[in-house]
Homo-oligomer: A and B are copies of this chain.
Amino acid sequence: MSQGEMLGPVDDAVGYVLKQAAVALRNAMDVALRPLHLTVPQYACLELLGQRPGLSNAELARGTFVTRQSMNVVLRGLEDRGLVTRPATAPRGRELPTVLTQAGLDHLRTASVAIRRIEKKMCADLTPAQQKGLLEALATCVRSLAGTP
């Protein structure tokens, strides 16, 4: 390659830098979760269940930004490993409320500290005010994009 770090116009585009940050975070999470034999979607599922037990498959899918089908296979894998449990029959409607097992809770704890370390590292060079502003700005972006075309 000819130039090492030439600043191009793409680096001024919010979308580009957003994508860049998301990919960097994803990769860092991936390597942090590998020793625990967890993928990022699996961890996201556990984290959500830890904070809000009894979520159904569809609710978990929306919460982790994947489809119901993908979440279904994730849950199957976690179920086979004994990390989560779903009742055989639906207590209401067709929703199968999922809960963490003790093993799942233990796994979540260790994974959670690893991920929290990643986030800490990511925000290490940000002042508390900057971090707060980042959070608010991103939330505002999400709201703006959610509106009608």
| Residues of chain B lying within 8 A (CB to CB) of residue A17 | 135, 138-139, 142
A142–B131 alpha-carbon span in the complex (Å): 14
Smallest CB separation, A52 vs chain B (Å): 6
Interface size on A, residues (CB 8 A): 55
A121 to B146, alpha carbons, bound, how many Å?
10
A103 within 8 A of B: no
Chain A 15-41 interface mask (CB, 8 Å, partner B; 1/0): 101111111111011010000000000
- By the criterion CB–CB under 8 Å, are B137 and A12 in contact? no
Taking the nearest CB of chain B, how far is it from the CB of A100, in angstroms?
15
Within 8 Å of chain B (Cβ to Cβ): is A1?
yes
Cα–Cα distance between A130 and B122 once the two chains are bound (Å): 19
A63 within 8 A of B: yes
Q: Does A123 contact B (CB under 8 A)?
A: yes
CB contact under 8 A between A144 and B123, given known A59-B1, A135-B12:
yes
Q: A24-B145, A65-B23 are in contact. Are A126 and B119 (CB under 8 A)?
A: no
Given contacts A25-B145, A125-B144, 15 further A-B contacts (CB under 8 A): A8-B51, A10-B63, A14-B119, A14-B122, A14-B134, A15-B25, A17-B142, A19-B65, A20-B65, A24-B146, A125-B140, A126-B137, A126-B140, A131-B137, A137-B137
A149, B65: Cα distance in complex, Å: 27
Interface: A124 (CB within 8 A): yes
